[in-house]
Each structure stands twice: as structure tokens, then as C-alpha cells.
Amino acid sequence: MRVQIGRVADKITGMLKIPPYGIVSVVNGTVRLDGGAMFGVVPKVLWEPLVDVDDHNRILLATRTLIAVDRVAGRVILVDTGCGTKWSKDKADRFGITTYPSAVPDALAKLGCRVEDVTDVVITHLHFDHAGGLTDWVEPGGEIVPKYPSAAHWVHRRHWEHAQRPASKDRPSFLREDFESLERARLLHFVDSEASVWVDGPFPGMSWYVSTGHTPFQIHPLFGAGDERLLFAGDLVPTSHHLRTTWVMAYDVMPLATIAEKEAIYGRCVADGISLAFPHDPSIGGVRLEGSGSRIRLGETLPLGG
């Protein structure tokens, strides 16, 4: 589907231009998760000074949507959707969830687009803090329907299969109400790539990397085809504080695989000039990387807005 995108997109501030895309990172809400779980075996004395931590040991995390617009092709792509709004007060309080329902529509409007213009939604993985905004209530507590009913929804086939029968370790992270209506509406498009390989995506100027350390077959979209490219890190590198290869989450199903995948990605990013966009950093949407090997460090912060 081709949509007409207004020229206001040329004037927006905080937009990263990676031909053929203009890209922004939008904070659609916040969530608080246990700091020990977010940093795994890393001692609290090391991570506590870096983050906003509350009396329940929960740290503040942003939930971000990456918006990529190709004006020539008329393609409007969202990557991940945050926790969504289908929460009772008690459950939202448990995870410290705050949502900003107008954040994505407002960002789209600044780009000259409407919610109805979204052509594609990339789902890195189906955990509730990434996939909750895929669907919404028609009425509070009532019927649940897709939020982007005209868009193709991209998810890895084997991750979709895992989400139907998750392991006991990660079962609480999957909420079927977030994604089961997508199947009924026939909006799903499956990625079939092998893990730990880079493959062409479904559109020009986009490709995939597939990881398995955090959750089986998480997909990471890579935007751009020239010297400037941007990889959405997903929960392989949730925040800038997780850049160190050994700082991995207790949530990860295979933490040693996460470490190996981070090393592989960093090597490719530095060698090929690929920048990283984070899904959960409250302050930084994305960065360029510097250094090599175990000495990878944050470089220039990207003008991604949000």
C-alpha cells in the first residue's frame, strides 16, 4: 500500500535521515522492572548509580517506538509499540506502567502522516512491554482489536510459535490479548530467517538480524543501505547501560548466547558504521559506537527525537 506523506516531514527536528528513511524514536510510555532482573549477575553497587531506582528496587525504563518513513515509497513503519493501554489500575501499578497514548499519533502528525497511514508494524518480540500496543480495547475491558488494522505485522515465525507455548521461565512476559487478534484479522507476516545471520528484509533499504539470547528468534530491523545505517537493538541491548557485553538480563533465556550476539553485532556495527537504537533507554534514543572488542563505548548521540 502506498500512502501520501506530507512535506512537513522535511521540517521535523530530531529526525535521523538514513536514505530512503526518515527515522524518529518516540517514548510511548514508561515501565518499572526489577533492577536485579534487568542487570542479572551485575552487582547493584555497579548499576544503581546509573539508573532511577525506586523503593521496590524497580528501575525506570522507557518504552520506545521507532518510526521509519519512506516518503518516496509511501511506507510508514513502526517498530514495537510499548505496553499499550489494556491494563487495570492494579496491574499497571505492579509494573509502574505509564502510557502516553498520543505520543505516536503526534509524532506521525509531525511527519505528515496519520495512524491510518501505517503500512507495517515490526514486532521484535511479543513480550508485553514491546507488543502491548499492537491491540486495544474497543471499550475498556471489552473486545480487543488490532490497533493498526491496515498494516502488515512482521514477526519471526518461530518466535510466534514460541509465544503460543512459552517456557516456564518467560511465560509471564507473553499476554495473549496483546497479539491473538492479529491472527484472526490475518495481519501476520512471518520472517523465516535463521538465527545470527543478516538477511534482506521485505523492502528496499531494510534488512534483518535474528537473535535468540533474550528470547527465541527476536528480530532486529536494520534501516539504510549506504554508509548510514541504524539497527534497532531490541532487548539484546535494552539501554545504553547494557552496552557492556556481559551486562545481560536475568530475563534472558540464554545469557551466554546474548553475550555472543552482542559481540557479533558490535563488531559489525563498528566495521560497517552501523548505529544502534535502544528500546528502553529513558534518555537516549540511539548512538554511534566507538572502540572495539571488549572496549566498545558510546559515541555520538543520534538526533532521533523522542
The x, y and z cell numbers of residue 63, run together, are 518504552
- 245, pLDDT greater than 80: yes
Quick one: pLDDT band at residue 169, thresholds 50, 70, 90?
A: very high
Q: Give the closest residue to 208 by CA, choosing from 149, 257, 159.
A: 159
pLDDT category of residue 306 using cuts at 50, 70 and 90: low
Q: Residue 13's pLDDT band (boundaries 50, 70, 90)?
A: low
Strands 120-122 and 152-156: parallel
pLDDT band at 289 (very low <50, low <70, confident <90, very high): very high
Q: How many CB atoms lie within 10 A of CB 102?
A: 10
Identify the pLDDT of residue 175. Answer: 97
Average pLDDT of span 178-188: 97
pLDDT at 181 > cutoff 70 = yes
Q: Kindly tell me if the per-residue pLDDT of 2 is higher than 90.
A: no
Query: Greater confidence, 303 or 241?
Result: 241
Residue with grid cell 538514513, as numbered in its chain? 18
| Cα 199 from Cα 207, distance rounded (Å) | 6
Coil/strand/helix, residue 52: coil
Q: In the predicted model, is pLDDT for residue 68 greater than 80?
A: yes
Percent of residues, the chain, with pLDDT higher than 90: 87
Confidence of residue 197 (pLDDT cuts 50, 70, 90): confident
Residue 164 · residue 155 · CB < 8 Å = no
Q: Please give the Cα distance from 166 to 51 (Å, whole number).
A: 30
Query: Residue 280's closest CA among 66, 48, 86, 16?
Result: 66
More confident residue, 235 or 303: 235
Q: What is the pLDDT of residue 11?
A: 43
Distance CA 201, CA 223 (A): 9
Q: Residue 12 pLDDT more than 70? A: no
Domains of the chain plus CATH, in order, are 7-226 (3.60.15.10)
Identify the residue whose cell numbers are 506521525: 108
Q: What is the pLDDT of residues 41-64, one digit of tens each?
A: 999 999 999 999 999 999 999 999
Q: What pLDDT was estimated at residue 304? A: 87
- d(Cα 249, Cα 215) in Å, to the nearest integer? 11
What digits encode the pLDDT tens for the residues 248-274?
Answer: 999 999 999 999 999 999 999 999 999
- Burial of 233: CB neighbours in 10 Å, binned 0-12, 13-18, 19+: buried
- pTM of the full predicted structure? 0.94
User: Hey, which residues does 120 pair with through a beta bridge?
Assistant: 77, 152
As a whole number of angstroms, the distance between CA 193 and CA 156 comes to 8
Do 132 and 84 form a contact (C-beta atoms < 8 A)? yes
Q: How many CB atoms lie within 10 A of CB 291?
A: 13
Instruction: Name the grid cell of 282.
Output: 529513558
Q: Is the pLDDT of residue 187 over 90?
A: yes
Which pLDDT score, from 0 to 100, does residue 86 have? 97
Name the grid cell of 150. Answer: 491496515
| Dihedral Cα 256, 155, 239, 175, nearest 10 deg | -90
